[in-house]
């Protein structure tokens, strides 16, 4: 288990991160969200040992992480951190050697990961010749080639097309089954909700929320009704409706609470010809937009 | 660290640009070793004496102009005069006209000026009696004896060699100072550095960069050395260097006629003592460049874009230029023995320029060498220790210093 206790880091008077605490068990995925400058990168750098904390502790299985070797963590940075003029194999080999893997294992792991991410045909191609998605896959292999226990993904899905997103999502699910401890940071909050049981919401170095996603949802009674009906009309005069939004064929209605939403749904089913109709709790991004958390 | 160094050196030396550069170096050194053949092929009349036409009324015998016949050939205007030849004519006692197709070169000017001067002397002395001629000769030709009181005798004839050494060291400083700095800027701007630092500590990275820089200099020097030795060997097989040495003698680059390379080495007095001095000088050079590289790397770690890096490096090059001119200014016997040159030979970084100069022109005591070496090594450790703090700050864009670092700096 990874345990972070009251971790703080300051840059002079500027707050990098203050009093961050969380635990992460095997097969757990934690999402770290927040705007730019909220402290996500500082948190990752503290975990990776790139920065020294001013206070607080980080332990893995009860032992200070500084006592582990550099193979504990796997890190996928947000930016493309590759030598663009190297071949895929050279890049992977270089980083695997830095992680002190034996040569034979390096060879096996490169074969394994290239095949798993379906880029074995690019093994001897220059990285700069690859698409953004395939470059991201190479970088992903760099993070995983040494089979780390704890994996940090900083914006893993940025710039990927839908087919690559599906590959990465499948991979993350597989890593979870392999009992890895996973941390994900993303601006695409829908993915965070999809993957993570726990989230940490940061704002200018302060921890605004740290806990389970379902618990976070309890911060607001509001919910959405999403529907596709034959004839669009205005529901804003109905009881419990806060706001109505339309986008293409879809209508989204923000409701005060779930009981009012159910009441309205029954009425719609009775009065309208309905193609689709569902009730949803507020997404994290909606809660942040509405100021329910911060 | 081993992998970082191997990886970086492979990237540096196993690429098309460096291979082409070394092939180019091979060709250039080859051309230099056969410069006599190449230049004489391109300009066959290079060593032909200058032909100067004078009016037959001025010319009675060649003693009048006291000329060196390998340099100048005098013809009277009765001979076949060509347009490209030079003609001199006495207008008045003080004015001589020189007619030439193109403006005279400095060498031609000097030769002709000397001829005219000799001619005037000849006329002057010709009108005097024997006793007066002797008196004038004694007055004009005198010997100046310089009694040196300083203990350390200085070989002022090596002043030109010192100039060449200072210039060579300066260009080595320029070439190699930013070798590693640019690599750090690239790794930082391409964000690969962050990934590397998850595998190795910043200290390991910093030290490996220093070693890479040092090894780069060594390997490139070795490649260049091998190329030179190869061409020396070829030239030795060809004619033992005889024609090349004659060519250099004719160009007045070497002052004596030498028959082969062996005689050249004897002439240069290259014995074990000189080689030892060169090795010590080389040590100062390596330490100085290492120090310079460290400073450049630390500065470059704060650079966040390739564009910024040139803005940072340009002022550094200007500072190096100032150091170069300073070294040239201080290149005289007094400054090197007891003036600013002597002091600077103990100051880290400056010692890379001044100590080699002192070693080659005067005897420097062993304790002076030890003190200067100690200063240079201590400076390297000092910069390594404190520079590392700044380096860590710079490479992680963590510019605001933490209390811990401020405290360490205060100590």
Residues of chain B positioned with their CB less than 8 A from the CB of A12: 400-402
| Alpha carbon distance A239, A218 (integer Å) | 22
**Average of pLDDT values for A271-286?**
78
Bridge-based pairing state of the strands A181-185 and A223-229 = unpaired
pLDDT given at position B30: 92
The partner residue sitting opposite A79, judged by closest CB among B191, B199, B402, is B191
Positive or negative torsion for Cα B282, B283, B288, B291: positive
In B, minimum Cα distance to A146 occurs at B199
pLDDT given at position B405: 44
Count of C-beta atoms within a 10 Å radius of residue A33:
26
Q: Are A152 and A76 in contact (CB under 8 A)?
A: yes
pTM equals 0.71
pLDDT given at position B408: 45
The residue extents of the domains of chain B are: 2-39+153-410, 50-140
Q: Give the count of alpha carbons within 13 A of B394, CB side only.
A: 24
pLDDT given at position B80: 65
- Residue A272 scores a pLDDT above 90: no
Residues of chain A positioned with their CB less than 8 A from the CB of B190: 80-84
CA terminus-to-terminus distance, chain B: 30
| Alpha carbon distance B170, B38 (integer Å) | 29
Give the pLDDT means over successive 10-residue stretches in chain B (411 positions).
82 84 92 88 79 74 70 70 74 80 81 82 74 71 71 59 72 73 78 80 82 84 90 89 85 81 78 78 83 82 73 78 82 76 85 81 83 90 83 67 46 44
- Of the residues A8, A11, A74, the best mutation for testing chain B's interface (the one with the most B CB atoms within 10 Å of its CB) is A11
Between chains, do B402 and A84 touch, taking CB under 8 Å as contact?
no
The partner residue sitting opposite B200, judged by closest CB among A12, A52, A98, is A98
CA distances from A230 to A237, A251, A271, A277, B330 (A): 19, 11, 11, 12, 94
The partner residue sitting opposite B194, judged by closest CB among A50, A70, A95, is A50
What is the CATH topology of the domain spanning B50-140?
Answer: D-Maltodextrin-Binding Protein; domain 2 (3.40.190)
Sequence-distant (≥ 6) Cβ neighbours of residue B187 within 8 angstroms: B193, B196
Residues of chain B positioned with their CB less than 8 A from the CB of A55: none
Residues of chain B positioned with their CB less than 8 A from the CB of A142: 195
The partner residue sitting opposite B198, judged by closest CB among A70, A80, A83, is A70
Count of C-beta atoms within a 10 Å radius of residue B129:
8
Residues of chain A positioned with their CB less than 8 A from the CB of B18: none
pLDDT given at position B409: 43
Residues of chain A positioned with their CB less than 8 A from the CB of B7: 94, 97
pLDDT given at position B149: 67
In B, minimum Cα distance to A91 occurs at B7
The strand pairing partners of B149, in sequence order, are: none
**Average of pLDDT values for A104-113?**
87
Question: Does the beta carbon of B404 lie under 8 angstroms from any beta carbon of chain A?
Answer: yes
- Of the residues B11, B15, B195, B398, the best mutation for testing chain A's interface (the one with the most A CB atoms within 10 Å of its CB) is B195
Residues of chain A positioned with their CB less than 8 A from the CB of B200: 70, 98
Between chains, do B199 and A54 touch, taking CB under 8 Å as contact?
no
Between chains, do B194 and A98 touch, taking CB under 8 Å as contact?
no
The partner residue sitting opposite A81, judged by closest CB among B7, B195, B401, is B195
Q: What is the pLDDT of residues A130-174, one digit of tens each?
A: 887 888 888 888 888 888 888 888 888 777 778 778 888 888 888
Question: Does the beta carbon of B195 lie under 8 angstroms from any beta carbon of chain A?
Answer: yes
Percent of chain A clearing pLDDT 70 (strictly above): 98
**Average of pLDDT values for A80-94?**
84
Angstroms from B199 CA to nearest CA on chain A: 5
Sequence-distant (≥ 6) Cβ neighbours of residue B39 within 8 angstroms: B46, B247
Between chains, do A82 and B404 touch, taking CB under 8 Å as contact?
no
CA distances from A84 to A111, B192, B383 (A): 20, 10, 32
Most confident of A191-195, A282-286, B25-29, B51-55: B25-29
Higher per-residue pLDDT: A294 or B369: B369
| Alpha carbon distance B19, B13 (integer Å) | 7
Residues of chain B positioned with their CB less than 8 A from the CB of A77: 191, 194-195
Residues of chain B positioned with their CB less than 8 A from the CB of A50: 194, 197-198, 396
The partner residue sitting opposite B3, judged by closest CB among A49, A52, A97, is A97
């Amino acid at each position: 288990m990874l345990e972070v206790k009251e971790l703080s880091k300051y840059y002079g008077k500027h707050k990098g991160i203050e009093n961050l605490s969380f635990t992460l068990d095997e097969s757990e995925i934690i999402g770290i969200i927040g705007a730019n400058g909220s402290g996500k990168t500082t948190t990752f750098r503290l975990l990776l040992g790139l920065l020294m904390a001013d206070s607080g502790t980080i332990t893995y299985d009860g032992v200070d992480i500084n006592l582990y070797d550099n193979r504990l963590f796997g890190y996928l940075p947000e930016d493309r951190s590759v030598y663009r003029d190297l071949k895929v194999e050279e890049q992977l080999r270089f980083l695997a050697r830095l992680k002190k893997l034996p040569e034979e294992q390096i060879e096996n792991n490169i074969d394994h990961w290239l095949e798993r991410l379906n880029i074995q045909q690019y093994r001897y191609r220059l990285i700069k010749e690859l698409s953004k998605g395939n470059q991201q896959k190479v970088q992903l292999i760099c993070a995983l080639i040494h089979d780390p226990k704890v994996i940090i993904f900083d914006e893993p899905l940025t710039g990927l097309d839908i087919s690559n997103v599906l590959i990465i999502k499948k991979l993350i699910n597989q890593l979870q089954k392999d009992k890895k401890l996973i941390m994900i940071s993303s601006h695409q909050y829908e993915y965070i909700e999809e993957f993570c049981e726990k989230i940490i919401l940061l704002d200018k170095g302060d921890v605004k929320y740290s806990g389970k996603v379902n618990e976070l949802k309890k911060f607001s009674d509001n919910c959405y009704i999403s529907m596709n009906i034959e004839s669009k009309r205005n529901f804003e005069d109905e009881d419990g409706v806060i706001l109505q939004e339309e986008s293409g064929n879809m209508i989204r209605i923000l409701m005060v609470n779930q009981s009012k939403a159910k009441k309205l749904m029954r009425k719609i089913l009775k009065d309208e010809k309905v193609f689709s109709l569902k009730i949803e709790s507020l997404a994290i991004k909606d809660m942040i937009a509405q100021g329910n958390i911060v | 660290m081993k992998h970082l160094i191997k990886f970086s050196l492979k990237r540096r030396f196993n690429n098309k640009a460096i291979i082409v550069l070394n092939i180019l170096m091979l060709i250039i050194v080859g051309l230099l070793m056969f410069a006599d053949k190449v230049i004489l092929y391109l300009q066959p009349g290079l060593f032909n004496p200058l032909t100067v036409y004078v009016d037959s009324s001025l010319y009675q015998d060649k003693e009048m102009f006291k000329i060196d016949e390998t340099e100048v050939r005098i013809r009277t205007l009765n001979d076949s005069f060509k347009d490209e030849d030079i003609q001199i004519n006495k207008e008045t006692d003080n004015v001589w006209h020189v007619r030439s197709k193109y403006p005279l070169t400095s060498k031609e000017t000097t030769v002709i000026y000397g001829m005219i001067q000799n001619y005037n002397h000849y006329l002057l002395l010709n009108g005097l009696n024997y006793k007066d001629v002797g008196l004038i000769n004694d007055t004009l030709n005198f010997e100046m004896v310089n009694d040196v009181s300083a203990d350390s005798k200085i070989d002022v004839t090596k002043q030109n060699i010192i100039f060449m050494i200072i210039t060579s060291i300066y260009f080595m400083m320029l070439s190699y100072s930013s070798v590693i700095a640019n690599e750090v800027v690239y790794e930082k701007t391409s964000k690969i550095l962050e990934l590397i630092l998850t595998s190795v500590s910043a200290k390991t990275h910093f030290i490996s960069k220093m070693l890479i820089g040092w090894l780069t200099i060594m390997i490139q020097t070795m490649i260049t050395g091998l190329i030179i030795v190869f061409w020396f060997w070829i030239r030795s097989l060809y004619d033992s260097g005889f024609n090349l040495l004659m060519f250099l003698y004719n160009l007045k680059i070497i002052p004596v006629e030498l028959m082969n390379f062996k005689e050249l080495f004897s002439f240069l007095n290259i014995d074990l003592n000189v080689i030892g001095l060169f090795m010590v000088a080389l040590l100062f050079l390596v330490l100085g460049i290492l120090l310079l590289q460290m400073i450049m790397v630390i500065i470059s770690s704060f650079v966040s874009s390739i564009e910024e890096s040139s803005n940072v490096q340009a002022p550094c090059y200007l500072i190096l230029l100032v150091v170069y001119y300073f070294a040239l200014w201080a290149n005289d016997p007094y400054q090197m023995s007891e003036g600013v040159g002597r002091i600077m030979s103990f100051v880290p970084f400056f010692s890379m320029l001044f100590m080699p100069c002192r070693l080659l022109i005067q005897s420097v005591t062993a304790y002076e060498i030890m003190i200067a070496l100690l200063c240079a090594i201590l400076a390297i450790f000092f910069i390594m220790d404190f520079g590392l703090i700044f380096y860590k700050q710079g490479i992680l864009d963590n510019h605001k210093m933490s209390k811990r670092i401020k405290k360490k700096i205060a100590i």
